[in-house]
Amino acid sequence: MLDGLRAAARRNSDDKALRALIRACKRLLSERAEANSVAIAAELVQAYAQLPEAQRPKLFDALASDFSPDPQTVLAAATAYAQAPTARHLVKLSQVAEPPRQELLRRINRAPGGTACLIGMRRDLLTLLPSRPELLALEADFLHLLSSWFNPGFLRLEKVDWQSPAQLLEQLIQHEAVHAIDGWDDLRRRLQPDRRCYAFFHPQLPGEPLIFVEVALLPDMPAAIAPLIDKKSTPQERNSFKVAVFYSISNCQPGLRGVSLGNFLIKHVATALQRELPKLKRFCTLSPIPGLMDWLLKKPDFEALPGLKKPQLARLQAAHALLLHSCGQDLAGLQQQSADRPLEDPVQQALLSLCAAFMIHQTHSPGGDPVARFHLDNGARLERLNPAGNLARKGLRQSAGLMVNYLYDLAEVENRHERFTLGEVVHARAVAALL
């Protein structure tokens, strides 16, 4: 009984904290709060940090319902603009259609720690969206404002090296999302003279990387990841650097998901490296293909692939049949290969053909590869598919060990980006030949 009373008292206390926080939001938006809005916003930042996790969805519900535009006012302004599309009516419509919560978020952002608080709020909000579609408009407001505040023009590109603060280096280990960093020795190797690491920072989040990219400087375009992340490997000589390879890009702030950072980061880094090392001839990636095995295991309908010719269709169907036969009718067997038990050449060629079709003809469609969309939309060219590029467990699970090189030609990225937006996957002849 005593435990029940304590739980009831705690719930009552939590409800009071939530109601107080919502009242503070309304007070922050009031005209009378203008003079001391920063102080009120600072109280809000602290109150949200202390708000129990179970109460946060209720706060988002209130922001979605109580801080939305008035429908009748919007309708009246829209009607006036439709009847007389003048600049004055358009300005009025824009003003009344903007949700009041956008101004609330702007005022919270002015407080010390406000930017970090808003990023944390959006991180919490994103976890709710799959089951709470009614919060989509609130999410759109967060994304709209954060995309403006984290415009690359406001960001600072910094090189991270072994002399950087330990707290920053620890964050690299923590947030590496593509190829896990196995402790300090591994990190130190990734920061040797033939390696580079660059990160974007925002003035309101000092010492907090937003996103970082790891680069290997090599004589040739690589076909496998293991040598690049071997912490016992010997650093290459500076005069051998001909190719800059972007082999890992990791976001550090889940609350900034969907805010375009990575595409600008690659281009900024490529430009910086070109200034530092004029002898660099090529900029490319060694990238995973995380969507390939999911696509294959779902029994793809090759006839539905756009732009596929009949002879190519016949070859793909034959390749798929060969893969099924080699795996005992279960393509999950492709995920069991190793360096000691590689796929036989005909099976590997069949897998490469199917991967080429996936990359060229499926990328624009639902179920296409997200990494491919990122690089191709960023202006890269699909350059080469690499069998047995990653035989680690993750690489086998995602793509049966295949990896891909995307080529960044700085003089062509805008043109290739434009072609991708028009539905074309720009690819090398070697990739086309696999079909």
Does residue 5 register a pLDDT over 50? Answer: no
248 tagged catalytic:
no
Mean pLDDT along residues 175-197: 96
Residue reference for tokens 């072609």: 419
Q: Give the homologous superfamily in CATH for domain 292-432.
A: Malonyl-CoA decarboxylase, catalytic domain (3.40.630.150)
256: confidence class by pLDDT, cuts 50, 70, 90: very high
- Is 355 buried (19+), middle (13-18) or exposed (0-12) by CB count in 10 A? buried
pLDDT band at residue 245, thresholds of 50, 70 and 90? Answer: very high
d(CA 431, CA 349): 12
pLDDT (tens digit, 9 = 90+) per residue, 396-411?
Answer: 999 999 999 999 999 9
Tell me, what's the pLDDT at 262? Answer: 81
User: Mean pLDDT across the stretch 25-44?
Assistant: 84
Q: In this predicted structure, which of 132-146, 262-276, 412-426 has the lowest mean pLDDT?
A: 262-276
Cα(111)–Cα(278) distance, rounded to whole angstroms? Answer: 44
Q: Please tell me the predicted confidence (pLDDT) of residue 30.
A: 86
> What pTM was estimated for this model as a whole?
0.88
Q: Which helix (H) or strand (E) holds 407?
A: strand 403-408
The span from the CA of 415 to the CA of 413, in Å, is 6
**For residue 344, what is the DSSP state?**
P
Q: Kindly name the residue from 202, 364, 375, 427 that is annotated as catalytic.
A: 375
- Read off the pLDDT band of 153 (50, 70, 90): confident
Is CATH 1.20.140.90 correct for 2-149?
A: yes
Mean local confidence (pLDDT), 284-311: 93
Residue-wise DSSP of 245-289 = EEEEEEES-GGGTTS--HHHHHHHHHHHHHHH-TT--EEEE-B--
What local confidence, expressed as pLDDT, does residue 7 receive? 52
Q: For residues 247 and 97, what is the distance between their CA atoms, to the nearest angstrom? A: 44
111 in helix, strand or coil?
Answer: coil
Return the sign of the alpha-carbon dihedral for residues 149, 151, 156, 158.
positive
pLDDT (tens digit, 9 = 90+) per residue, 9-20? Answer: 465 566 888 999
Average pLDDT along the chain: 92
Task: Clarify whether 89 is annotated catalytic.
Answer: no
Contacts of 52 (CB under 8 A, 6+ apart): 14, 17
Q: Which residue has the higher pLDDT, 66 or 152?
A: 66
Looking at the chain, the whole-number percentage of residues with pLDDT higher than 90 is 84
DSSP result, 49-103: HHS-GGGHHHHHHHHHHHTSPPHHHHHHHHHHHHHS--HHHHHHHHHHHS-HHHH
pLDDT digits (tens, 9 = 90+) for 110-124: 999 999 999 999 999
Write out pLDDT tens, residues 43-54: 999 999 999 999
pLDDT at 206: 86
Question: What does the alpha-carbon distance between residue 219 and residue 238 come to, in Å, rounded to a whole number?
Answer: 10
Q: Given this chain, do its domains 153-285 and 292-432 carry the same CATH topology?
A: yes
Q: What is the pLDDT of residue 10?
A: 61
> Position of tokens 């009120």?
40
Q: Is residue 1 over pLDDT 90?
A: no
Domain 153-285 class in CATH? alpha beta
Tell me the mean pLDDT in the region 266-277: 93
For residue 360, pLDDT beyond 50: yes
| 389-396: average pLDDT | 94
CA dist 412 and 379 (Å) reads 7
Q: Which of 129, 126, 395 is nearest to 253 (CA)?
A: 126
Which residue of the set 287, 326, 353, 399 is catalytic? 287
What CA–CA distance (Å, rounded) separates 382 from 416?
Answer: 11
User: Which residues lie below 8 Å from residue 330, measured CB to CB, with a gap of 6+?
Assistant: none
Q: Compute how many other C-beta atoms are within 10 angstroms of the C-beta atom of residue 183.
A: 10
- Once rounded to an integer, what is the mean pLDDT over residues 28-53? 86
Q: Can you give the residue ranges of every domain in the chain?
A: 2-149, 153-285, 292-432
